[in-house]
Amino acid sequence: MQKGNIRVQTENIFPIIKKFLYSEHDIFIRELVSNAVDATQKLKTLSSLGEAKGELDDLTIDIQLDTEKKTITISDKGVGMTGEEVDKYLNQVAFSGAEEFLKKYKGQNETNIIGHFGLGFYSAFMVSERVDVITKSYRENAQAVKWECDGSPEYTLEDAEKADRGTDIVLHINEESTEFLDAERIRTTLKKFCRFLPIPIRFEGNQINNPQPAWTKKPSELTSQDYQDFYKELYPYSEAPLFWIHLNVDYPFNLTGILYFPKIKQSYEIQKDKIQLYSNQVFVTDEVSDIVPEFLMLLHGVLDSPDIPLNVSRSYLQGDPNVKKINNHITKKVADKLEEIFTKERKEFEEKWESLGLFVKYGMMTDDKFLEKATKFHIMEDVKGGKFYTLEEYRAATEALQKNKNEQLVILYTTNPVQQDSYIQQAQAKGFVVVKLETIVDAAFINQMETKWEKVHFTRVDADIVDNLIDKADASGSVLTSDEESALAALFDRQLPELHVTVEVKGLSPEAPPVIATRPEFMRRMKDMAAMNGAMGGF
Ligand code: ADP
Ligand code: MG
């Protein structure tokens, strides 16, 4: 038997890394600036432990563009590297100095280090024909060194002149990547990935990041204005949010973030503002499906989890066990928060129901755990306006009028208070509560809740079976003979056969319309469902 180690030929692995490691080339900015942040965070940690001497001074990371020399330079004032360290960290692909540092200082500090795989640095070669690293370690009397590599496995390492501690990474941009020799392009890329990195980052004299975004602070340190301001920073063009949830979990996974409930009218315009996913304050993606439950995809805000690696792909996310846990946690937090507002500030909750209700109803339809909690705070508005009922409150309010109350609770609703006014009036005259369920979402909601809520039936106020609940005005009020009635019914049937209406002309009071035509509940719903599928693109 033969045992051994697989040997890797660097000549072959290099092009693979360059080509396939990252699908988006602008990632190199994220990786190199993250390394600069890590180097600075390490220095801060070492300084706090007394291992790095002297003042730290200004730690700002600087990005410079030189269009003539065709270079981009990323300069930090972090730990720097000695010649030996360069050899160890840069000449060994997939050896992560970040991992090593974390292992060594575990428990001694709370630094968030971004690096992980020991591959990020090599993303520089996706856009560079040559990379120079000029670096000087924080250690006393350290000798600065310069490392040069053209992307082949050969490099040079020599002593160099550098006045200050830290590292300059000089990228000599290659022919195919000249798009990055554009200040605007760099600025947008920095804004995309580095907007909330924890160390000040400067480009062309301006700081481009907010190093302490609201989600990294404790809720007790933040006022409601701070939350509103942060929302404005994220979505300058959106209306103020209804409320927010500050997430802060550290077991069994790490998750921080702020989720905002935006103001939504009952319209389905394309949502441009999305939840953003970060990992240690580095932007990862705004495609958060899987992490965020589907019914909360319309929320806004930020999630940050170091447990979600930077190199995420959709298929990766689906298979990650933390993702499912995070998803469940978010559902629970949202339900708890809604319940809290409902209990403590019911008035406010009711005022915001138009927007809130949309989330709550989607949630109840798609997530049974949420349904269980939300049944307590889902409310329906009385058609008269201003009064809201939960399921149990509706039951209590109409109990005396429910005919088969042991078998089922009937909820009378209207989809159009104007058109259905006469029916509403009759029901109300009998003491019934008629609630408004007018939207496309309501139509789907009703169907779903009849299967999910036990023994609950929704009946539109003008449906034929309302008769079973409300005794129509007595027959003595009839103005027609029974022959006239059947003749009239036959006439309707001939004229409107496809509608399948039941015509009733009997026993109506003088204020009511002379004829009432009703359609079976199921017929109408079929039509509503068809309309909904069309309008919502199969939501
Ligand atoms: P990772 O960040 O995942 O550890 P990288 O390939 O991005 O891997 O970087 C490899 C190592 O090189 C880092 O862990 C660090 O030790 C070193 N390094 C890279 N950039 C810098 C820098 N700007 N200052 C100091 N050390 C650096
Ligand atoms: Mg890195």
Q: Output 314 or 368, whichever has higher pLDDT.
A: 368
Summarize the confidence of residues 64-90 as an average pLDDT.
Answer: 96
Backbone phi, psi, residue 477, to 5°? -75, -5
Indicate the pTM of the whole model.
0.81
Q: Is the pLDDT of residue 475 over 60?
A: no
Task: Return the pLDDT at 102.
Answer: 81
Say if the ipTM goes beyond 0.95: yes
Summarize the confidence of residues 181-202 as an average pLDDT.
Answer: 97
pLDDT band with cut points at 50, 70 and 90 for residue 492: confident
Q: How far apart are CA 203 and CA 186, in angstroms?
A: 9
39 lines ligand 1 (CB under 6 A): yes
Q: How far is the CA of 457 from the centre of ligand 1 (A)?
A: 63
Pair 239, 262: CB distance under 8 Å:
yes
Task: Return the pLDDT at 183.
Answer: 97
Q: How far apart are CA 160 and CA 178, in angstroms?
A: 28
Task: Return the pLDDT at 526.
Answer: 63
Task: Return the pLDDT at 439.
Answer: 86
Nearest listed ligand to the Cα of residue 74: 1
User: Mean pLDDT over all residues of the chain?
Assistant: 85
Task: Return the pLDDT at 253.
Answer: 84
121 lines ligand 1 (CB under 6 A): yes
Return the residue matching tokens 């180097």. 39
Nearest listed ligand to the Cα of residue 97: 1
Task: Return the pLDDT at 401.
Answer: 86
Task: Return the pLDDT at 490.
Answer: 79
Burial of 466 (0-12, 13-18, 19+ CB in 10 A): buried
Summarize the confidence of residues 72-77 as an average pLDDT.
Answer: 98
Q: How far is the CA of 29 from the centre of ligand 1 (A)?
A: 13
pLDDT digits (tens, 9 = 90+) for 100-125: 888 888 776 666 777 776 678 988 99
31 annotated as a binding-site residue:
yes
Taking alpha carbons only, the member of 451, 391, 395, 461 closest to residue 422 is: 461
282 lines ligand 1 (CB under 6 A): no
pLDDT digits (tens, 9 = 90+) for 407-462: 889 999 999 999 899 889 988 988 899 999 998 889 999 999 999 999 999 999 98
Summarize the confidence of residues 273-298 as an average pLDDT.
Answer: 88
Using most ligand atoms within 8 A of CB, pick from 112, 121, 155, 167 the residue to mutate for ligand 1: 121
pLDDT digits (tens, 9 = 90+) for 342-378: 999 999 999 999 889 988 999 999 999 999 999 999 9
Non-local CB neighbours of 346 within 8 Å, separated by 6+ positions: none
Task: Return the pLDDT at 538.
Answer: 36
Q: How far apart are CA 509 and CA 507, in angstroms?
A: 7
Q: Is the pLDDT of residue 399 over 60?
A: yes
76 lines ligand 1 (CB under 6 A): yes
Q: Output 225 or 497, whichever has higher pLDDT.
A: 225
82 lines ligand 1 (CB under 6 A): no
Q: Take atom 10 of ligand 1 and give the residue whose Cα is closest.
A: 118
314 annotated as a binding-site residue:
yes
Q: Take atom 4 of ligand 1 and give the residue whose Cα is closest.
A: 96
pLDDT digits (tens, 9 = 90+) for 23-32: 788 989 999 9
Q: How far is the CA of 225 from the centre of ligand 2 (A)?
A: 35
Task: Return the pLDDT at 106.
Answer: 78
Task: Return the pLDDT at 441.
Answer: 87
Q: How far is the CA of 96 from the centre of ligand 2 (A)?
A: 8
62 lines ligand 1 (CB under 6 A): no
Highest mean pLDDT among 1-10, 209-218, 233-242, 282-291: 209-218
123 annotated as a binding-site residue:
no
Q: What angle do the packed helices 321-344 and 353-366 form, to 10 degrees? A: 140
Q: How far is the CA of 146 from the centre of ligand 1 (A)?
A: 15
SS in 3 state form for 282-308? EEEECCCECCECHHHCCCEEEEECCCC
Here the tokens at position 325 are 């846990």
Q: How far is the CA of 276 from the centre of ligand 1 (A)?
A: 26
Residue ranges with strand state E in 334-479: 380-382, 388-389, 409-414, 434-436, 456-460
Task: Return the pLDDT at 472.
Answer: 47
96 annotated as a binding-site residue:
yes
Q: Take atom 2 of ligand 1 and give the residue whose Cα is closest.
A: 115
Taking alpha carbons only, the member of 247, 205, 223, 275 closest to residue 333 is: 247
Residue ranges with strand state E in 443-510: 456-460, 502-504
Summarize the confidence of residues 323-352 as an average pLDDT.
Answer: 93
Q: Output 99 or 448, whichever has higher pLDDT.
A: 448
pLDDT band with cut points at 50, 70 and 90 for residue 508: low
Q: Is the pLDDT of residue 513 over 60?
A: no
81 annotated as a binding-site residue:
yes
Task: Return the pLDDT at 476.
Answer: 39
167 annotated as a binding-site residue:
yes
Q: Output 516 or 283, whichever has higher pLDDT.
A: 283
Residue ranges with strand state E in 315-437: 380-382, 388-389, 409-414, 434-436
Task: Return the pLDDT at 537.
Answer: 39
Strand 456-460 and strand 409-414: the pairing is parallel
Task: Return the pLDDT at 111.
Answer: 67
pLDDT band with cut points at 50, 70 and 90 for residue 385: confident
Task: Return the pLDDT at 273.
Answer: 75
Task: Return the pLDDT at 79.
Answer: 97
Q: How far is the CA of 433 from the centre of ligand 2 (A)?
A: 63
Q: Take atom 20 of ligand 1 and give the residue whose Cα is closest.
A: 35
- Tell me which amino acid residue 256 is: T
Residues having C-beta closer than 5 Å to ion ligand 2 = 35, 115, 120
Nearest listed ligand to the Cα of residue 36: 1
Q: Is the pLDDT of residue 268 over 70?
A: no
Strand ranges of the sheet holding 71-76, from the earlier edge strand across to the other edge: 155-159, 145-149, 128-136, 166-173, 71-76, 61-66, 201-203, 206-207
35 annotated as a binding-site residue:
yes
Highest mean pLDDT among 10-14, 30-34, 264-268: 30-34
Q: How far is the CA of 194 from the centre of ligand 2 (A)?
A: 14
